[in-house]
Every structure is written in C-alpha cells, then in structure tokens.
Amino acid sequence: MTTFKNLGLCTELITAVDCLGFENPMPVQEQVIPFVMNETCDLIALAQTGTGKTAAFGLPLLNLINSEKKQTQVLILSPTRELCIQIANDLKNYAQYMSGIKIVPVYGGENIISQIRQLTEQPQIVVATPGRLIDLINRKKVKLDHVSFLVLDEADEMLNMGFQEDLETILQSVPDERRTLLFSATMPKAIEQIAQKYMRDSKSISIGIRNSGSDNVEHIYYTVQAANRYLALKRIVDINPDIYGIVFCRTRQETKDVAEKLMRDGYNADALHGDLSQPQRDSVMNKFRIRNLQILVATDVAARGLDVNDLTHVINYNLPDDVEIYTHRSGRTGRANKKGIAVSIIHTREHNRIREIERMVKKQFKKENVPSGLDICKRQLFYQIERMEHVQVNDEKIDQFLPHVFKKLEYLPKEDIIRRFVSLEFNRFLDYYKNAVDLNIPDKPSKDENHKSQKERNCENRNNRDKTSKRGQRIRMKINFGAKQNASPRAILGLINDITNDKSININNIEISDKFTFFDVFADQSEQLLNAFYRNNRTSFEIDIAKESKKQRQYNNEGHNFYENARKRAKSDKSQKRDKRRRNKLNKKRTVSAKFT
C-alpha cells in the first residue's frame, strides 16, 4: 500500500499530514505527488473538488521550494476568495513543521494595502484570485519573475467566471520556464485551448472518468408538476431529518424566495446569493460551515467559494442549463471518501435532460417517488425515537430535578407519557401532512413500451394519474344520520361496515351534528363508499361529499384540486341519487302491493 512516507516527502510534511489525520494518500495524491517531485513536465489533472487535490499539489510543492530564498516560487490561482483562503490555510497546515515558509493569500473584497504589505515580505507561495492578482501586477506590487510553479486550481471555474483574459495575462506574466499544473473538474474546449497555448509536454491524468461524477455520489430525481417543486423540496427535507445540504436555484430571486419560504415554514435555512454584501455572505457561509445552518439555498455563483466536506445532499431545485454545472454541484457532496446524494426535482418535460446528464456523468439516475405524508410521519417519528434512545443523559445535573418531575407525572401510565412526549414534536408533521396529496407524476413510457399506441399510453397514464393522485388524500364526507337519530361514532362505523362489508375503510375525524355526521375518508375509498350506499337498498341513509369547510380548506392547500374534482364528480352523481330515490319509492310500492296480493 502506498504511504506518504514512500512518496518521498520530507519528515516535516509527513508529521504534518499525520497530525491532520491523513492515514493514506488519496488516489489523486498517489498520482500527482511523485509526478510533481520527480518529473519536469506540465500536468493536466482532471479531478473533482473534494478529491484531495490541494494536498496533491501542495505537499510536493512545499517539498520542492527553497525556504531559504525569499522569493515567490509558487503561484496558485483559484477562482474564488473562499477557495483562495482555504488553499492558503491548508498549505499553512501542511507546512506547520517547516521553518522559513511564508504563504500569502491575495483576493478581492479585502483591503489591498494590507495584502501589499504582506507581499513585501517576499512569500515563497502566493495564492491569488485572478482579478486581484491583475490589480497587484498593474500596481507592480507582486514579483513573479522567480515563479517556477504555476498552479491553476479549478481552471474550468475560472473560465466560467469570465477570467479567461485575466488568466492569459497572468500566464504571460510568469517565466516561460515555469512548470504549470492545471486542475479542473471538467475539460471544456477553452481549457484545452489554454493548455495547448501555454503548457509544454503536459502529462494528463484523470482521477475518475472524464466528465464523470464522483463514485461516492448517488444521483436521484423526483418528477413533479413545476408548481409543486417547493412542496416536493419540503418533503425531501422532511424525510431526511439529518440533512445537511445545499439547494441550488437558478436565479437570485428564486434563491431568496425558496429560502424565505423555508425559513417561514420553520426550517433551519438561509440564502446565499449575489445581492448580499461580502460580510453577509461570510456570515451565512460561516454559519453553514459550523453547521449552525442545515440548509443553504444558493445560486451557483455564490456557492462557488464554499468548501464543505460533509454535505449529505445537494438538491437541484432546478436543473442547471449546463451539464458541467451539474457536475460541479453534485461534486460538492460525496467528498473526502464520504457518501452523498445529488437530488434533482424535475417536471415531465425534463426527462430528456436527465438522460443527457446521465450520459455525460456516466452514471444512472434513480427515479424515486416523492415521499407521502405517511412515509414522512413514520420517518420523523422513528427519528425522534432514535434521538431519544441516544441522547446523552447528564445524571449529575438532571437527578436533582427528577423527583419533582416523577411526582408531577405519577398519575400517567408509561404508555401515556411516551405518547405525549412523542406528540410534542410530532403533531406538527401529523397536522401538516394530514391532507397531503401525492405529488408524483408518472414517468414518460420507457423505450420498451414504445410499441404501444399513443391512445393506449394516454389511457394508462390517465388511469395511473387517477390512482396515484388520489391515494393518501383525505376527503370529507357527510351522511344524513345525526344526533337526532341517535348517531354515535360507533353507530356510524357499524353502519359503514355493514353497508360496505369492508373493514379496511378508514374513517376518522367524525363530527356529529343534529341532522348529519361528517367524517374523513381516504379519497379512493370515498368512491367505494358512494357506490356501496347507492347500490344498497336496505338503507335509507344517503352519503355524500361534504362541502369543504373553511378549516379544511386551510389544511387542504395541497389537496385542493382533487377536492374540487371530487365535488364536480359528486354533482354528476346527483342524477344517480334521484334514480335511487325513485327506485326506493318503487320498491316500497311493490312491497305494499305485494302485501295486498
């Protein structure tokens, strides 16, 4: 097995990586460290972010520079100030046991004078963003004539951000005999052109497949109506109570809207976008880095500088226009050998985009169903129970209060205590998802199904849509059996069981008034009930869909359309009811006449 020791690094660096807890070199380090140390040509490395590239170039460069010479020997370019600071900090950590090494980061949005002051100390390593470096070159405040290594980190990002011209100016400002190490997550044409123009005898290495996503990332997608994106997002978050992720939006406005809605709905979220001032952006990023924030809603540009390793999820609230942006987004999870999930919320017309991205990243995407309200409630319930099981109990502190607590609760049986404790948090989910509709819409037919006629497919889709759109929703019904006729919940349930002969019909939320009883039933069972009562001649009770009460309309945001449809359907059932009344009358007449014959 390759170790840092047998890669030829000096003992100071080995001690440092040991201290940082790096046990073995990562694949990019196994390839790049010996190459930089032993070869003389340039390098083009296709490597995702989070694969350990900073140490891959940082360790051998620290090993190679002459700490006694007070000259800038290494220039590292990074697309954002955050990455710039990150690289400089990483290098300082690797160099912590070396003496005489000075590393200076220079980046925009910060006082240039203090950076100029640091540059006068002739650091051996300068880490810079292109714009600020150009400014310093123009002011003649940075000396690049002894640069023997130029590193272009996240080169594709630098081009995406419009730094091509700056990059070319910088490439012309460093000595021709330097070695160039170019790192990029993707290899667009413009990078190949830069490499051809400014690099010599370059060796190309690829960590992972060209344009591929990290192996540690699972790609999944959910298909919903475009108008249901936000509801789907909430369900994805709710089914993953431990989520720590970034939700990518296309525009600043969308970012603000989604973040505001999430905050208003009680999620631990915030927005990161270009309309924020630098201190505001720093504050949001810091909160996210230290996990004070669980969900960051961001534009691609704003999230560029964010370097976080433990993201569980990256969520594409909208698919990006560019497949390379998808690669960047998803590369933010599954880093440093951890597993991650890249989620895309799409609408039906975007399936082709998913296929296109699949081809590019060479990964198959898994279609998942947006979780139902019931799934979420179950997950949240068990999450709470797990938290309770694993909570650390501070016996010393809590023991003094417990006798009072025990005394206060002594009248409650254990089951009741558990029930109440669980309800404290859980009621919120139960209430919210009480009337949750199914947000899924069926996929387009697969290739195997293409031989079916369009008519057949339309018919199947309609049936599927009907089935899926109804399941899980609750609908309010009424029956003309009220307190005046001695109705009770038990009598109602007995009557329904009797008429339908189906114990699986799920009735709840029973409300009895003088003349009527109202109750909730699953939408797909409501039709079964209507039919059973209609067909049954033994009962004079009639069942119908209740008018939507104001309270229910409030709960029923999600189920509103279905509710309206059901009411329309109920209207058309009126003629059937008229028939039933006529038939009942006829039966009575027949019975009467039978008695007399």
Q: Which residues bind ligand AMP (CB under 6 A)?
A: 22, 25-26, 29, 49-55, 309, 335-336
Write phi, then psi, for 44 (nearest 5 degrees).
Answer: -120, 115
- Closest approach, Cβ 386 to ligand AMP, in A, equals 28
CB of 153 to ligand AMP, least distance (A): 9
Nearest residue (CB) to ligand AMP, 50 versus 559: 50
Tokens of 375: 């799934």
In angstroms, give the least distance from the CB of 111 to ligand AMP: 27
Give me the helix-helix angle, 11-19 and 53-64, nearest 10°.
150
Distances (CA, A) of 537 to 540, 581, 586: 7, 10, 11
**Contact, 222 vs 345, CB < 8 A?**
yes
Which pair of tokens denotes residue 33? 């460290």
Residue 170 Cβ, how far from ligand AMP at the closest point, in Å?
22
- Tokens representing residue 265 in the block: 């709905």
DSSP state of 440: B
Q: Which is nearer to ligand AMP, 117 or 291 (CB)?
A: 291
CB closer to ligand AMP, 52 vs 373: 52
Would the CA dihedral through 473, 478, 481, 487 be positive or negative? positive
User: What is the C-alpha to C-alpha distance for residues 76 and 290, in angstroms, rounded to an integer?
Assistant: 27
Nearer CB in complex with ligand AMP: 209/336: 336
CB 122 within 8 A of CB 70: yes
Q: How far is the CB of 23 from ligand AMP (least distance, A)?
A: 6
Q: How far apart are CA 379 and CA 317, in angstroms?
A: 23
Tell me the residue number closest to ligand AMP, measured at CB.
Answer: 54
Rounded to whole angstroms, how far apart are CA atoms 104 and 84? 10
We find the least distance from the C-beta atom of residue 55 to ligand AMP, in angstroms, to be: 4
* Closest to ligand AMP by CB, 157 or 254: 157
Nearest distance, CB of residue 26 and ligand AMP, angstroms? 5
What does the alpha-carbon distance between residue 291 and residue 294 come to, in Å, rounded to a whole number?
6
For residue 308, give every residue at least 6 positions away whose Cβ sits within 8 Å of its Cβ, in sequence order, or none: 288, 289, 332
Query: Which lies closer to ligand AMP via its Cβ, residue 126 or residue 207?
Result: 207
The residue type found at 212 is S
Residue 435 Cβ vs ligand AMP, minimum distance, rounded to whole Å = 44
* Tokens standing for residue 21: 């807890």
- What does the block give as tokens for 557? 């945001």
Asked whether the beta carbons of 46 and 187 are under 8 A apart, the reply is yes
**103 or 119, CB closer to ligand AMP?**
103
Helix or strand holding residue 182 (H, E): strand 179-184
Q: Closest separation between CB of residue 82 and ligand AMP, Å?
A: 12
**Could you tell me which residues come within 8 angstroms of residue 396 by beta carbon, excluding any fewer than 6 positions away?**
none
Is there a contact between 122 and 143 (Cβ–Cβ < 8 Å)? yes
Nearest CB to ligand AMP, comparing residues 15 and 531? 15
Q: Enter the tokens of residue 45.
A: 């490395």
Tell me whether residue 312 or residue 500 sits nearer to ligand AMP (CB atom): 312
Nearest one of 586, 585, 235 to 429, comparing CA atoms: 235
Least distance to ligand AMP from the beta carbon of 337, Å? 7
Nearer to ligand AMP, 336 or 398 (CB): 336
Q: Is the Cβ of residue 94 or residue 518 nearer to ligand AMP in the bound state? A: 94
User: Considering the complex, what minimum distance in angstroms separates the CB of residue 334 from ligand AMP?
Assistant: 11
Distances 169 to 74, 158, 166, 198 between C-alpha atoms, Å: 17, 13, 5, 11
